[in-house]
A and B are shown apart, each in its own frame.
Chain A
Amino acid sequence: GNSVTQMEGPVTLSEEAFLTINCTYTATGYPSLFWYVQYPGEGLQLLLKATKADDKGSNKGFEATYRKETTSFHLEKGSVQVSDSAVYFCALSTYTGNQFYFGTGTSLTVIP
Chain B
Amino acid sequence: EAGVAQSPRYKIIEKRQSVAFWCNPISGHATLYWYQQILGQGPKLLIQFQNNGVVDDSQLPKDRFSAERLKGVDSTLKIQPAKLEDSAVYLCASREGGLYTEAFFGQGTRLTVV
Contact = CB atoms under 8 A, between A and B. Distances in A.
A104 B42 contact: yes
A44 B33 contact: no
Contacts of B33: 100
B53 to A, nearest CB: 12
Contacts of A99: 45, 48, 55-56
A12 B42 CA distance: 19
Interface residues of A, number: 25
A98 B98 contact: yes
B105 A44 contact: yes
B55 A51 contact: no
Nearest to B107: A43
Nearest to A100: B103
A68 B102 CA distance: 20
B91 interface: yes
Chain B interface bracket (under 10, 10 to 19, 20 to 34, 35 or more): 20 to 34
A100 B45 contact: yes
Given A98-B31, A98-B50, A105 B42 contact: yes
Contact of B91 (A32, A34, A41, A43): A43
A18 interface: no
A51 B95 CA distance: 16
A35 to B, nearest CB: 10
A42 B102 CA distance: 17
A50 B33 CA distance: 21
A1 interface: no
Interface of B: 4, 31, 33, 40-43, 45, 48, 50, 55-56, 91, 93, 95, 98-100, 102-108
Given A43-B106, A44-B105, A89-B42, 16 more contacts: A4-B42, A31-B99, A46-B103, A46-B104, A49-B102, A51-B99, A97-B48, A98-B31, A98-B50, A98-B55, A99-B55, A99-B56, A100-B33, A100-B45, A102-B42, A105-B40
5 contacts: A44-B91, A46-B104, A49-B102, A104-B42, A105-B40
